[in-house]
C-alpha cells in the first residue's frame, strides 16, 4: 500500500503561532498573533533559514537565528503561543495567490535552494521535555504517519484509504465540485493533500482540549500538487484555477 509522503521542496510556507505566518512568493506574512508578541507593521529582509528559528523563539524554545528578527517590539517568554502550524506550499511562480488580510509583512524572504521549511528542531524540543499531557506533533514533511496523538487514529494515510475517503459525501470532491477529476492521478494528488490537511484540522477542532492542555503542539504540512497541475494542464487551465479557488 502506498503511503503519502509529501516531501517535495516548496517556496511558500504558512505558519501558525496561534495565528498565521506565511511566506508567499518571497514575502513573509504574519496574519494574526497573540497579544504577547508585538511586531511593527512593516519589516525588512529576512533569511528563509530564520523562519523556523523565529518560530522556535516565539514558541519559547532556543533558536540560532542568523539575523535578529526585524521589527520585534515585544515578546513575553512567559506567555508563548501554545501551537505552531506550518504549511509549505509549492506554488508555481506564475500562479497568482496572495493573502489580503495580515498583521505584518516582510517584503523579501530569501529561500535558499527552494528548501521546504523544516520544524524538526521544534519537534525535538517539544518531545524532549516531560510534559504532563501528551503533545500533538504532526509532520507530513518528514513522515506522513507522524501523528503522535490518538485523536488522529483512522485518518487516511495510505492510497487505498484516501481513495475511499474522497468517495465519501463529505469529501472535498463532493463539497467543492470543479473540473478537477478525482480519478486522474494528478488531480487526485491535489485532493489528497488538501483532504488530509482538512481532516487533521477537523480532528483538532473536534478535540479542543488538545490545544489548551498546557503542552506545546507542532503541525507541519506540505502541498506540492499545484506545480504538477500547472505542468500537466497549463498555468491558465481550469484545473489550476479550481485548485487555487479551493485553497482560497
Q: What is the pLDDT confidence band of residue 7, given thresholds at 50, 70 and 90?
A: very low
Higher pLDDT among residues 221 and 12, named by residue: 221
User: What are the boundaries of each domain within the chain?
Assistant: 12-247
The pLDDT tens digits for 58-75 are: 888 887 765 566 667 777
Check whether 173 has a pLDDT greater than 50.
yes
The cell numbers describing 161, all together, are 484509504
Average pLDDT rounded to a whole number, residues 22-34:
65
| Burial class of 63 by CB neighbour count within 10 A (0 to 12, 13 to 18, 19+) | middle
What rounded mean pLDDT belongs to the chain? 75
Euclidean distance between CA atoms 54 and 7, whole angstroms:
22
Query: How far is the first Cα of the chain from the last one, in angstroms, to the nearest whole number?
Result: 32
Check whether 163 has a pLDDT greater than 60.
yes
Residues 134, 137, 140: CA angle, nearest 5 degrees: 160
Average pLDDT rounded to a whole number, residues 71-88:
77
Question: What beta strand segments (E) does 146-214 contain?
Answer: none
Half-sphere exposure of 214 (CA within 13 A, CB side): 5
Check whether 5 has a pLDDT greater than 70.
no
pTM of the model: 0.78
Check whether 238 has a pLDDT greater than 60.
yes
Q: Residue 17: beta bridge partners?
A: 84
Check whether 16 has a pLDDT greater than 60.
no
106: CB partners within 8 A, 6+ apart = 27, 28, 29, 43, 44, 45, 46, 70
Q: What is the pLDDT confidence band of residue 76, given thresholds at 50, 70 and 90?
A: confident
Q: Widest CA span of the chain, in angstroms?
A: 51
**Given this model, what pLDDT does residue 128 score?**
86
Assess contact for 73 and 40: CB atoms under 8 A.
Answer: yes
The pLDDT tens digits for 207-232 are: 888 877 778 888 888 888 888 899 99
Amino acid at each position: 500500500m502506498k503511503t503519502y509522503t509529501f516531501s517535495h521542496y516548496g517556496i511558500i510556507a504558512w505558519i501558525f503561532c496561534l495565528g498565521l505566518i506565511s511566506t508567499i512568493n518571497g514575502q513573509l506574512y504574519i496574519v494574526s498573533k497573540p497579544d504577547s508578541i508585538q511586531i511593527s507593521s512593516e519589516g525588512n529582509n529576512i533569511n528563509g533559514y530564520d523562519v523556523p528559528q523565529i518560530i522556535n523563539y516565539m514558541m519559547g524554545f532556543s533558536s540560532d537565528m542568523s539575523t535578529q528578527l526585524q521589527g520585534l517590539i515585544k515578546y513575553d517568554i512567559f506567555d508563548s503561543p501554545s501551537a505552531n502550524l506550518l504549511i509549505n506550499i509549492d506554488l508555481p511562480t506564475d500562479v497568482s495567490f496572495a493573502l489580503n488580510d495580515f498583521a505584518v509583512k516582510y517584503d523579501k524572504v530569501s529561500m535558499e535552494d527552494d528548501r521546504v521549511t523544516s520544524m524538526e528542531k521544534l519537534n525535538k524540543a517539544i518531545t524532549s521535555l516531560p510534559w504532563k499531557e501528551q503533545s500533538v506533533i504532526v509532520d507530513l514533511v518528514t513522515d506522513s504517519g507522524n501523528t503522535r496523538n490518538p485523536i488522529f487514529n483512522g485518518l487516511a494515510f495510505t492510497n487505498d484509504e484516501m481513495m475511499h475517503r474522497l468517495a465519501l459525501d463529505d469529501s472535498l470532491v463532493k463539497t467543492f465540485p470543479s473540473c478537477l477529476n478525482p480519478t486522474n492521478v494528478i488531480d487526485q494528488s491535489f485532493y489528497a493533500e488538501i483532504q488530509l490537511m482538512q481532516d487533521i484540522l477537523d480532528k483538532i477542532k473536534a478535540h479542543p482540549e488538545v490545544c489548551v492542555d498546557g503542552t506545546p503542539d507542532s503541525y507541519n504540512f506540505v502541498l506540492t500538487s499545484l506545480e504538477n497541475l500547472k505542468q500537466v494542464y497549463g498555468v491558465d487551465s481550469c484545473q489550476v484555477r479550481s485548485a487555487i479557488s479551493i485553497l482560497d
